[in-house]
Structure 1
Amino acid sequence: MERSVGEERIFSGRILGLERHTVILQDGSLALREVVRHPGAVAIVAFVSEQLLLVRQFRFPVQKYMLEIPAGKLDAGERPEDCARRELLEETGYVPRFLHKLITIETSPGFSDEIIHIYVGEVEKSQEPCPDEGEFVEPVLVDSKEVVKMIIGGQITDSKTVSGILLAFAGRESDKYD
């Protein structure tokens, strides 16, 4: 186990913070650790009959458009399920007929404390999408039989999307959500 003996706040932004810690390692030596602090997020594997509802969005850090499951950052004090419902409606215009929590994942524990609560649900169209200002997402329906091929073929590479979809399919195969 490592123990922090010194902390320096490097950056505090709208979405994340960055800290540098001096830690004592198991052998008693000192090392530096940089930690990204994140408030957490949710993501939803949304089924519309035999199709999956994804969003197409440009991701600046990797400089490309990506297909992802709908997702978003938790607001302070917000329950993950409430956030899942809100983000799904904002990004896609769909609402869940039911939601089931699949898993909570730690996205990059080597440098970040971000967790994502992943849900699965059957959804139906309610209204037009109403994304946040400066958020440009396009809802996309994809045949569920094609999604695994898209993952294997490298067309879907986002980690929350890959893990959420594969886990949702495993649950559907075992009739876990019926």
Structure 2
Amino acid sequence: MSTRTLYLFSSAAPPVFDIARVVEDAQADGWDVCLGLTPTAARWLGPSLDGLAALTGHPVRWDYRLPGEPEVWPQPDAVLAAPLTFGTFNRWALGITDTYVVGVMAEGIGKRIPMVAMPCVNAAYVQHPQFERSVATLRGAGVTVLYGEDGFLPHHPGQGDPAAYPWRVALDAVRDLPSRV
């Protein structure tokens, strides 16, 4: 069996501090993992970036490459975008590609790359009318959005438990995605 490539994209929400374990779990599931971060998540994980690159065998990406620079990652078989903050989730749904990970995810819809997204937002953020529109937009574009009873359930502001973030649900969902069309 050949190894499948998973792009794991994360933004700056507290569960991102557990990303090394998530990479190891994905690798145990048979994935070759390429880790992409929003600029803030990269800043949060700054001291760990070299170790994460060694763990994945690929450079950690958080910025667009310059014109003429070679692509350093293999093509993805799937994308797992988690944890996604309110801002990153909405920018993706709106097509605002101001960060590397949002740009790749937005383009991935058009390339029909199978994708799973799981937000990490509090109950106050989900009251904003754009959030439900973004959930509907991404689901309508074919993205598996793990939000609600079978995915991420929002917590009250300031009361989230990063250890309770349902990473296994996300990894199982990406494992169960259909092959690329």
TM-score range, shorter chain: under 0.3
Q: Flag the structure with higher helix content.
A: 2
Q: Flag the structure with higher strand content.
A: 1
